[in-house]
Structure 1
Amino acid sequence: MSRAGQLLQVSSGWGGAGMVVGLVFLVLAWVLAPRVRHLADDRPVLFRADAPELFALVDEVARAVGTRSVHAIAVDGSINAGVMTYGVRGRRLLVLGMPLWEVLTPGERIALLGHELAPYANGDTRNGLAVGTAVRTLSLWHHTLGPLPHPSVIEMVVNALYVVPRLLVRGVLVLLVRLTSRAGMRAEYLADRLAARTASTQAAVGLMDRLLITEALGVLLRSEANRAALGGATSSREATAQADELWGLLTAYAASVPEHKYERQRRAGARRGHQVDATHPPTHLRRACLLVGEPVAAAVVPQARRTERIATELAAARTEVARRLPRDGLGD
């Protein structure tokens, strides 16, 4: 007998009130049950037929890292990237933040792909079925039990009743994150090493430097995206031209940052403990770790013609992302 059937059988023995309680439990179980990720339909998603050269590059990087490749690639406006699973069969989705992709060199892009695929090769527990599902489920519960904004009298009572369960969920979530943090930090260092072996030490270190200027890139991107939105492109040709101008300005800014400014950012990051997010070690320590020992050469070498073909495959997506930036923002 299923868990739902057992719950109904038990609650039916309590009379009518028990049935009501059982139904409430069933609704809560349905709302708070672990969810299988699905492909988001609010951003451009590419499959192999749409971008054969990009998928060929990802396949080559995956082989160099020692893991399987992805089944789909989503493009959004975040200054970030990541790989996650979706669907019942656990297929992999690569999420490419177009602003980050645009400012990287071809070698740094390969390092980025290597770093994002590496956790699946080095046994990062945070990407596992048990721990990953637990963290996502607890996060959903914590969000669901959050206080209702601008509550009425009844909603104030509900908010009060939610306080203790929410604190318990938060405590378990914090405990789980802390218990896995050391393994997670180690996995990030290993991912950096695999990225260096895939794209070269120089490319992996260059990627670290780019991460130091993401805040400035975000400010510039928001400003330019809003300015472009005020222009109000009326045709697809104008939208493409505005997107090209936007990404061109972003790329030109990243290329114009001199080495002494990167050095200043590295020193400031060392003082402040700059991190990409709470799950990553300090960026300056990651960079220093890469520079220990002899530099390694690239296992996957950028090819100029492939880079051009990939740019063509991403052209429609980069225009669409630029068009949506004023509305959607930079994402996570």
Structure 2
Amino acid sequence: MRAVEEQVVQPCPQCGVEVRGDRRFTVWCAACDWNVDPQEAAEEKQGRLERRRRRMAQQYGERLLGDLATEAGHPQRERPGRSAAGALAYTIALLVHGVTLALLVGGLWLLIGDWGGFGMVPGLFLLGLAATLRPRPNRLPADAHVVPRSVAPELYALVDEVAEALGTRSVDTIVLDAQANASVTHLGVRRRVLTLGLPLWEVLSPQERIALLGHEFGHFTHGDTRHCMVVGTAYGSLTTWRYHLSPIGNPTVPELFVNLCYLPPRWLITGLVTLLDLLTTRASQRSEYLADAAAARIGSAEAAAALMDHLLVVESIDTTLYREVNARQMSSRGRVSAKDAEGLWEALAAHLRSVPELCLIHIVRCRPRGLCRARRATARY
């Protein structure tokens, strides 16, 4: 009954063709693409760097789709760090860290060489600057919900089995959170962490869960230059540089002069970030698609394709979860018991099943089209 109430039938304001849709999602015209990308106007308000990233992602996605079709679904394994672009990205990242090291050494030299004198002031300044720019490996948040192996042995056994099937090392820690997502990352040099969002995990079928794990471990198998420790921490240092060199708001005359002095180094930092994006975008996307291929190999092509469809509407899952939780809080006057939480995951799964296929087609038709098409094509291979 609710699905019928959500249906929308209206003429297209652009071509006049009858448009049928679901009011919960974007209503668009398949005949003329009216309203196919309602965020296009918002995109024009984005910064130059973000627009450039989006255009590169779209172009690379289209090219990768052609590559995957040519390779008949069996892309060659590529380690981005071994390519010329990956080597140049590593070189730039090492230079960024070299500047931080030079600041540290210079600060120590001034501090020790002029102990008790005026040279201690710039020495302390350089040490403080180096401290803010230092490489920061990933750390678990203090409020992370870590699941020990002793508490969930079957989950760890499944994760270990998927990792072994893909020929990579398993994770050391599993973390649960409330976001409809999943990810893997490194802690320090060796530790691996798998984060599972319960809203996504609970609405997936058993085979789709295996495909999800296969995708995440595919990142470890194929690598990703952008998220490795050297390049990833260089991104963090460059972001800190941009923060330090950001212009002063409502400047006085002296502050206006400072803003002008900040322009050349800020342009340099922006150029380095853009260059790193350019050098790592294709390798990063290819790693993503190879991870999709790993999901299809370990969980079946049907499960991987279904997982891709679920991920297309992941924001809708979050919205439904918040709505269901708020409804339960209101009915219980803010005191939610275990009984009130009954049926929560079933409601999420029912919502996911009610998403019309036209909505999925709309998302694929939206920009960047190449990304969605290539990912779904890879999963189906």
Q: Which residue of 2 aligns with 1:84?
A: 185
Q: Which runs of 5+ in 1 are unaligned?
A: 276-280, 293-332
The answer to whether the Cα contact below 8 Å between 2:107 and 2:124 also exists between their aligned partners in 1 is no
Q: Which runs of 5+ in 2 are unaligned?
A: 1-100
* Distance 1:232-1:289 versus aligned 2 partners, 3 A rule: same
Q: What is the SS of the residue equivalent to 2:339?
A: helix
Q: Which residue of 1 aligns with 2:278?
A: 178
Separation (CA, whole Å) in 1 of partners of 2:344 and 2:256? 49
The answer to whether the Cα contact below 8 Å between 2:110 and 2:122 also exists between their aligned partners in 1 is no
The answer to whether the Cα contact below 8 Å between 2:296 and 2:380 also exists between their aligned partners in 1 is no
Q: CA deviation at 1:217?
A: 1.9
Q: Bigger CA drift: 182-191 or 220-229?
A: 220-229
* Distance 1:23-1:119 versus aligned 2 partners, 3 A rule: same
Deviation per CA, 1:264-285: give whole Å up to 9, x if none: 234322321358xxxxx62232
Q: What is the SS of the residue equivalent to 2:119?
A: helix
Superposed, 1:62-101 pairs within 5 Å as 62-87=163-188, 89-101=189-201
The answer to whether the Cα contact below 8 Å between 1:212 and 1:265 also exists between their aligned partners in 2 is no
Q: CA deviation at 1:76?
A: 1.3
Q: CA deviation at 1:99?
A: 1.4
* Distance 1:9-1:291 versus aligned 2 partners, 3 A rule: closer
**Equivalences, count:** 277
Q: What is the SS of the residue equivalent to 1:109?
A: helix
Superposed, 1:315-326 pairs within 5 Å as none
Q: CA deviation at 1:113?
A: 0.9
Partner letter of residue 173 of structure 1?
A: V
Q: What is the SS of the residue equivalent to 2:338?
A: helix
Q: CA deviation at 1:77?
A: 1.8
The answer to whether the Cα contact below 8 Å between 1:274 and 1:284 also exists between their aligned partners in 2 is no
Partner letter of residue 50 of structure 1?
A: V
Q: What is the SS of the residue equivalent to 1:82?
A: strand
Q: What is the SS of the residue equivalent to 2:184?
A: strand
Partner letter of residue 376 of structure 2?
A: R
RMSD over equivalenced CA pairs, Å: 3.1
Separation (CA, whole Å) in 2 of partners of 1:239 and 1:157? 57
Q: Which residue of 1 aligns with 2:138?
A: 37
Find the partner of 2:363 among 253, 259, 269: 269
Q: What is the SS of the residue equivalent to 2:222?
A: coil
Q: Could you say which structure has the larger radius of gyration?
A: 2
Q: CA deviation at 1:12?
A: 5.6
Q: Which residue of 2 aligns with 1:303?
A: none
* Distance 1:194-1:20 versus aligned 2 partners, 3 A rule: same
Q: Which residue of 2 aligns with 1:311?
A: none
Q: What is the SS of the residue equivalent to 2:108?
A: helix
2:345 matches 1:247: yes
Deviation per CA, 1:103-148: give whole Å up to 9, x if none: 2111111111111111211132233332222223333444565568
Separation (CA, whole Å) in 2 of partners of 1:23 and 1:129? 28
Q: Which residue of 2 aligns with 1:310?
A: none
2:372 matches 1:283: yes
Q: Which residue of 2 aligns with 1:304?
A: none
Percent identity, aligned pairs only?
42
Find the partner of 1:217 among 317, 321, 333: 317
Partner letter of residue 45 of structure 1?
A: V
Separation (CA, whole Å) in 2 of partners of 1:158 and 1:49? 61
* Distance 1:72-1:232 versus aligned 2 partners, 3 A rule: farther
Q: What is the SS of the residue equivalent to 1:282?
A: helix
* Distance 1:288-1:36 versus aligned 2 partners, 3 A rule: closer
Separation (CA, whole Å) in 2 of partners of 1:55 and 1:185? 28
Find the partner of 1:111 among 211, 214, 231: 211
Deviation per CA, 1:236-283: give whole Å up to 9, x if none: xx43233334333212211333xxx22x234322321358xxxxx622
Partner letter of residue 282 of structure 1?
A: L
